[in-house]
Amino acid sequence: MTLAPSPADLQQPVVRVEGLRILFPSLDGSDTVKAVDGVDFEIRPAETFGIIGESGSGKSTIGRALVGLLDATEGVVELDGRTLNAIPRRERRKARQSYQIVFQDPHAALNPRMTLMESLTEPLRIRGGVSEDEMRRKAQESMERVGLRAEMLGRYPHELSGGQKQRANIARLLPLNPRLIVCDEVVAALDVSIRGEVLNLFADLQRDFGIAYAFIAHDIAVVAQVSDRIAVTYLGRFMEVGPAEAVTERPMHPYTTALLSAEPRPLPAHLREARRIDLKGEIPSPVDPPSGCRFRTRCPWAQERCKAEVPEWRELRPDHYVACHFASPDGIQAPMAAAAGD
Amino acid sequence: MSADAGLVEGARRTGPRPSTSAAPLLSVSDLGIAFGPRRGFGGVRVTEGVSFDIARGERVGLVGESGCGKTVTGLALMRLLPPSARIDGQVKLDGEDLLKASASRMRRMRGAKIAMIFQEPMTALDPVFTIGEQIGEALRIHKTVSKAEERERVIEALAEVGIPAPARRAQEYPHQLSGGMRQRAMIAMALVCRPELIIADEPTTALDVTIQAQIMDLLARLSEDTGTALLFITHDLGVVAETCTRMITMYAGQVVEDAPVDEALMRPRHPYTSGLLRSLPQLNRGLGEDGRRQFAFIPGRVPSPMAMPAGCRFRDRCGFAEAGCERPQVLTDVGPDRRARCRRTEELTLPGAVD
C-alpha cells in the first residue's frame, strides 16, 4: 500500500512558490492590503510544512493560493512542476484535484442537507468517469480509513461530533488520491482531549499515501509537533524557515523567539523558564508595512539599521533560513534595546 | 529587563494566599443548572453539585472542555442566565446569597462587587457609544460622581490597563480599537468600580498569543495590585498554569478535581485531569513503536447531557474504570486543600505534566 517515492519524486517538490505576492483592495478601495508580500518556499513529497504566525500574517492566504482558491497577484505557484496560473481556467479544476484543503470549522465544511454518503461521493461525481457502485465502495473505504464506521454514511452532519466531522472532511478527499493537503487550523475547533486522535490520523495517512501537508496554525505547540519544517510568517513575509526542531528549540529570528516565549506553558512554576520577551503593541497594518524589517516596530533588538535596510534572506544553518540583520547560527547577536518604563 | 521579568513571574504565582480559616469571598455550594421544562421530556441538567470557594485576592482557573458547564457556571454566578434556566444551590458572595438576591439588588452588585469579562469584546461592547461613555456608565450607576470626575476616572482606568493616549481613546468607538485594545477596555470597565471578584470567561481566546501574554500579565498584575479575586474560565491549561494559584477541573457538568495549580499539574488526582494534561501538544512528545510521533488523546467523547450515566461520568473514556465506577462518585478531600471525584484516587498514581 505504501507508495515509496522514487528518487525523481524526491528531487521534484510537490509545491514550489517563488516571489508570491497576493494583494487585495482595502474595503473602501483606496488602499492595497499586502496580504502576502514576497515569499519563496518548497514543499517536498510526503513532507509536513508548518506555517505559523499571528492573525493578519498572511498564512491562510498562502494556503488558499496553494490550492488555487486565490490567484497570485505576482509570482509563481508551481504544483508538481506545473504553474497553476498558466493552466487555462477550464482545465484548472481537473489539475487542482490532487491538491486539496481542509478548513478549520468542520461544521461549516459539510453541507448540512447532504448525508455523509452524498458528501463523500460528491468529489468523485464531479470528477466523473466512476460508476455509482465504485463511488459508494470508495466512500466506504475512506470512512474506514479515517476510523468512522461505514454505517454512519447514512447520517447527516448534525448527528456527528466535531471530531467525527473533521474525520469525514478528511475522508472526502481520500478518493481523489491527493498529493498535497492544505490543513488550515484543522484542530483549532476541536477539544484538546481529541486533537491527538485527529493528528495521528493525518500522520497515518501521510505514511500510507505519501501525502504532503501545508499545516497552517496559530498554535506553535501543535505545529512544532507535526511539522518537518516550519515557516514563521509576519506581515506577509517569512521571518524564518527551518527544520521544526531547530526553529522551536534554537530559533534565530527575534519574532520566533518572542512567539515561543509568549506561549503559556502548562508546567508548574519551578519548571517554567521565567524569561518572557514582551512584544510591545500589535501587528501593524498590512496596508502600509514598516520600512526595512517589518518586525522592527515590535522587536526588542531593533537598531537603526533595521529601519533602513530590508534584511537579506540568509541560510545560516543547513536548510535553516532567516531574515534578520542580527541573526547568527548561535542566536541573535545584538544588544536588546533598552526596555525603559517596562 | 529579562532577569527582572523572571523575578516578577515567580512572584506572580505566590500572590495572596489567605489563611484557610478566613471566610471565603465566594462560596458556591451544590450549584445545579438545568434548562427546559421542570418535568417530563426535554429538560437538560447541565451542571450538578458544583461546589468551590474563592478566597479574597485569589486567582482560580476553572478548566474543562466545551460543554463541561464552566461558562454557565460563570453566568450563574453573575445571575445572567436566561429565565428558562433553573438554578439550585447557593452562591454566597461575602455571605450574601446571590441566587436569592432581588433583581435590583443584583444590579447594584454587578459591576460594584462582582464583574465579568467576556471572550468576544466586540459583542460585549456597544458599537454606538464611545469607550469612555461605556466605562463611565459603570461609575455613574454605582457611585455619585461629577462629569469631570467621571472623565478623570475613565482616563485613569484606561491608562491603568495600558492603553496609550487614554484621553483620546476614551472618545473613540469600539470599531476604532484593535482586538487587544478592546479587551483592555473591557478590563478597564470591569475594574473601574474595584469589584472584589472578576469572572473572566476565555478572556484571551480570541487574541493572538503575543497579545494574550500581555493581557494575562495585565490581569495578574491588576489582581495583585488591587486585591481583586479572579475566576478564569478557560480551556487553556497553559494560561491557568501561568496565572492562577488554584485549578478546578470540570467534566460533564461536575467538578472532578480542585487543587493548588502546581500540584494538579505535577500529580493530578483525577484520571480526566491527567488525560487532559497528557493530551496537550506541548507535552505530547511520545513516539509510537515504529518511532513515529504519536499523540496522546482521550478516546471516546463526552456523554450527552440528555443521557448522562448514573455513575462516574468519565468512566467510558477512562483507562482505570472498573466495577464500582458505575456508582455515583463523590468529590472528597484527598489531601490538604485538594479534592477529587474518583473512588480510585488513593490507589492510582496518575501521570501529570512531567514524568
Does the interface ipTM go beyond 0.90? no
C-beta atoms of B7 and A196 within 8 A: no
Q: Are B174 and B131 in contact (CB under 8 A)?
A: yes
Q: Which of B210, B235, B285 sits opposite A279 (nearest CB)?
A: B210
- pLDDT, mean over chain A: 90
Nearest in space to A303 (alpha carbons), one of A254, A259, A257: A254
Residue of chain B with shortest Cα separation from A272: B242
pLDDT at A334: 78
Statement: residue B41 has pLDDT above 80: no
C-alpha to C-alpha distances, A204 to A43, A145, A208, B99, nearest whole angstrom? 19, 10, 6, 52
- Terminal-residue alpha carbon distance, chain A: 58
Shortest CA gap A305–chain B (Å): 23
3-class state of residue B248 by DSSP: strand
CA–chain centroid gap for A306, Å, is 28
Q: What is the model's pTM? A: 0.88
B355 touches chain A (CB under 8 A): no
Q: How far apart are CA B229 and CA B58, in angstroms?
A: 5
Residues of A in contact with B354 (CB under 8 A): 267-268, 271
Question: What letters, b where the CB count within 10 A reaches 16 and e where it falls short, cover A16-46?
Answer: bbbebbbebeeeeeeeebbbbbbbebbbbbb
For domain B26-36+44-244, give the CATH superfamily.
P-loop containing nucleotide triphosphate hydrolases (3.40.50.300)
Indicate the DSSP class of residue A236.
T
Farthest CA pair distance, chain A: 71
Name A213's bridge partners. A48, A181
Q: How far apart are CA A114 and CA A105, in angstroms?
A: 17
Task: For strands B44-54 and B26-35, give the pairing.
Answer: antiparallel
Q: How far apart are CA A235 and CA A57, in angstroms?
A: 4
Reading the block at residue B335, the C-alpha cell is: 489531601
Q: How far apart are CA A196 and CA B61, in angstroms?
A: 23
Q: How far apart are CA B51 and CA B56, in angstroms?
A: 17
Q: Are A216 and A67 in contact (CB under 8 A)?
A: no
Q: What is the pLDDT along chain A (342 residues), one digit of tens a residue?
A: 445 555 554 578 999 999 999 999 987 888 899 999 999 999 999 999 999 998 889 999 999 999 999 999 999 999 999 998 888 888 888 888 999 999 988 888 999 999 999 999 999 998 888 999 999 999 999 999 999 999 999 999 999 988 899 999 999 999 999 999 999 999 988 899 999 999 999 999 999 999 999 999 998 989 998 999 999 999 999 999 999 999 999 999 999 999 999 888 899 988 887 667 878 888 898 899 999 999 999 999 999 999 999 999 999 999 999 999 999 998 888 777 654 333
B286 touches chain A (CB under 8 A): no
pLDDT at B47: 95
Q: How far apart are CA A135 and CA A86, in angstroms?
A: 31
Q: Are A114 and A165 in contact (CB under 8 A)?
A: no
Q: Which of A221, A269, A270 sits opposite B281 (nearest CB)?
A: A221
Residue of chain B with shortest Cα separation from A274: B6
Total residue length of chain B: 355
**Local confidence band at B13 (pLDDT 50, 70, 90 cut-offs):** very low
Residues of B in contact with A270 (CB under 8 A): 262
Given the C-alpha cell 543547513, which residue does it identify? Answer: A318
Q: How far apart are CA B102 and CA B109, in angstroms?
A: 11
Q: How far apart are CA A69 and CA A131, in angstroms?
A: 28
pLDDT at B350: 95
Instruction: Please count the residue pairs, one from chain A and one from chain B, whose beta carbons lie less than 8 angstroms apart.
Output: 143
B119-137 per-position pLDDT tens digit: 887 788 999 999 999 999 9
B101 touches chain A (CB under 8 A): no
Residue spans in chain B of domains classed CATH 3.40.50.300? 26-36+44-244
Q: Which helix (H) or strand (E) holds B60?
A: strand B59-63
B53-107 per-position pLDDT tens digit: 999 999 999 999 988 999 999 999 999 999 889 999 999 999 999 999 999 999 9
Report the sign of the C-alpha dihedral through residues B175, B180, B181, B182, in that order: positive
C-beta atoms of B211 and A282 within 8 A: yes
Q: Are A146 and A201 in contact (CB under 8 A)?
A: yes
Q: Are B193 and B153 in contact (CB under 8 A)?
A: no
